[in-house]
Structure 1
């Protein structure tokens, strides 16, 4: 700027003051940053903010105290790859292609990486990277720092590169921090914190010494997860970004214990979500609004000021975050295809916040999972076999193990009265009309999705790179 221009500007400012006019810069609307911290195989009922009694999850609880806790968020398929693909694409598994674990998505899709980039965001990911290929579908900036391999024996991490990513420019960002805890092999964390004999076991488990020993290892990794959440929230405060950053905690699907992950009971499908948005989301609140992972990307687009993306299965729940609505969707849907984790065993489900219908599409077959039920690898995870060994002399153990292996065509539960889904109401005369209604809605959804049911759970040829 020349001297003459400076003098001219000074005269304008002085004249404005004489005239009593306020000369202030126009406020610039800044879009919020977003950090999404996602667990791996978390039994969300172990979080103390969700009623867990075995440990105090201090840092996740702190987010709940400062934000909104969702009581009804569900994974549509209770396994890692489909859940993450649904999170990123806003599509249900049949439509994004990862409807079996480790099956790739269709390479013609777009994801949150495209949608937020179009709205001016940098979109990054650190940690578990199971759903980041192909790059054309998932154009994340990969940030080093967190362990990408979920079966690694360690979970070593550092925050230097995360710090660089979130402070590099003033451009808004969305960063996915994908922890590998508490995924097997349960080899990290301080197990001395827990007394195996004093643990409160889930009601759908069999109490054996092996189960308690394994549960100790699992809870030690839940503690590690909580510590990682604390590290990230501290980093935001240290860098001064906590005031304009939305922090979302996600629990993914249930744990690798019998009847949870790789199933459509709530211990597999039911998740957790806490959203802290300073100045916008009311602190110490919770909601019974029904949401699914497919709804998260549409919500992020809505938060960023974008228009709804045509063709997505998910819907924005921003009105719930803003306290303008107590509902988001009427039903949550579930799909399970057992290959390659076991024999063909397709399952479908539909639920609202109380009732749940499950259809086992091949009820004449027995359910089998190779990670927990392979007798030739009994040393790999012996929880299941400790249950089997107890079943001949324990009617409850026999009932629980039989329930996992041999299932009826229809299961129907009142999840308010029976949260562990141990009492099947499928033949109860008082529920027959509701069962018919739910089944019709589920079959309509399957048709809309292009879901062929049992015919979908087959071995597919691997796509050449």
Structure 2
């Protein structure tokens, strides 16, 4: 039996595995050490602006050619740009739960979209409050319940409903929160842009015919029209970043405030969100920290959203919390290290957004392994592919129509629906993951090593694979 065969059998074994109850219970409680404050000087305020379904490749500071994101670009010129930050699960609720708890999805419990976290956990709201911080949140509030797990001060100002047709916002309450106390604060500004329905922003800035589309898309008039709407919301997001940066300066806090921008996961276009290709999993992060982080720098250090809360604790002067999955990347911010972790991991459970289609992934700085645990099943997502609401899924069906007599469109749509058990990519030479190297004899040993690393991580997480991608009884 060759190595590739063993890998495929491994994928199948996990497809029928049963999650042991005792294993799950062992991960539901998160022990912690004393988080007493270290000796520190004046501790900085922290403002974190998070996008919603952002294709980070569209940001001009990340190489985007369709829009000039001047405010986000300015932030990059003033701070450190991360080129390798990844969401472990490319959907909103799991990513935000990982951000706040420092845990991977199986361990925090929100391993399916809109599934709540376990109610016995702690989050950044506890950890920073224990260190003397006020912890607030304004905007999208999907992951703020239960209050016992997410004890944020909820601040008015930004729209909390990500599918709102409008996105009016005010900075009055945000300014009041920033200036209300001598205590330092950590404020999460959670934008709803550019999440669907793509009804905010000025579309007149963009010419659909001149847009440069990703190479893993099918070029249709419908796609271009929808893309214009999407870019208009990225403009809206960029304006919000500029407004928050200006507010920090106006309140005289810019010298002692860390400003972080986060891109979340990819866009609601086929092959991005709700998938583990880089178009969905790869994100963006920029950190401005006056006097601490060098301006106009970038790093290839691999980090995940689970690493952010441990880093905030470290910045605030706290001790590391035992039991978290993430680790601090403060040495990267301080330019004391060029690396943070060896691998980034990915998990996808398709329910409730479609039929069961569990996927797992692992990547280092160059290569990526994806295991599709039910490869004989067709991938289906109800938000992009449901024939009952074709009016809401016009992009996908325009791709399908073109695939009838267009070979490239047929290849892209087939890749999306029918997937092999094993995918392996050289991301340096194939960033859009279009050339599967799983059958390449030169990659057999590397694939075997990645598979073993992924299996070890799944076992540590209590992740039995396909058996957890099932409907949850309420």
Aligned to 2:338: 326
Aligned to 2:200: 188
Aligned to 1:403: 415
TM-score when normalising by structure 2: 0.92
**SS of structure 2 residue aligned to 1:95:** helix
Matched, 1:231 2:243: yes
> Residue 419 of structure 1: which of 412, 415, 431 is its match?
431
Aligned residues of 2:371 and 2:423 also touching (Cα < 8 A) = yes
- In the TM superposition, residue 381 of structure 1 has moved relative to its aligned partner by 2.5
> Residue 59 of structure 1: which of 64, 71, 75 is its match?
71
| Aligned-partner Cα distance in 2 for 1:262–1:339 | 10
The count of residues paired between Structure 1 and Structure 2 equals: 436
| Aligned-partner Cα distance in 2 for 1:353–1:117 | 35
Structure 2 portions without partners, runs of 5+: 1-38
TM-score when normalising by structure 1: 0.93
**SS of structure 1 residue aligned to 2:383:** coil
Aligned to 1:455: 467
Aligned to 2:15: none
Q: 1:349-398 CA distances to partner (integer Å, 9 max, x unpaired)? A: 00011100000000000000000100110001200000000001000000
Q: 1:254-298 CA distances to partner (integer Å, 9 max, x unpaired)? A: 000001000000000000000000000000000000000000000
Q: 1:389-422 CA distances to partner (integer Å, 9 max, x unpaired)? A: 0001000000000000000000000001000000
> Residue 455 of structure 2: which of 429, 439, 443 is its match?
443
> Residue 306 of structure 2: which of 272, 294, 317 is its match?
294
Which aligned pairs between 1:85-164 and structure 2 lie closer than 5 A? 85-164=97-176
> Residue 428 of structure 1: which of 408, 429, 440 is its match?
440
Aligned residues of 2:82 and 2:284 also touching (Cα < 8 A) = yes
**SS of structure 2 residue aligned to 1:455:** helix
Aligned to 1:362: 374
Do the aligned partners of residues 28 and 208 (structure 1) sit closer, same or farther apart at CA in structure 2, a change above 3 Å counting? closer
- In the TM superposition, residue 28 of structure 1 has moved relative to its aligned partner by 8.9
| Aligned-partner Cα distance in 2 for 1:381–1:121 | 44
**SS of structure 2 residue aligned to 1:204:** coil
Aligned residues of 2:122 and 2:149 also touching (Cα < 8 A) = yes
- In the TM superposition, residue 29 of structure 1 has moved relative to its aligned partner by 2.4
**SS of structure 1 residue aligned to 2:463:** coil
- CA RMSD of superposed structures (Å): 0.8
Matched, 1:335 2:325: no
| Aligned-partner Cα distance in 2 for 1:169–1:447 | 45
**SS of structure 2 residue aligned to 1:393:** coil
**SS of structure 1 residue aligned to 2:66:** coil
| Aligned-partner Cα distance in 2 for 1:311–1:168 | 34
Q: Which has the higher contact order (CA 8 A, sep 6+)?
A: 2
**SS of structure 1 residue aligned to 2:392:** coil
Q: 1:105-147 CA distances to partner (integer Å, 9 max, x unpaired)? A: 0000000000000000000000000000000000000000000
Tell me which stretches of 4 or more aligned residues in structure 1 moved more than 3 Å: none
> Residue 275 of structure 1: which of 276, 283, 287 is its match?
287
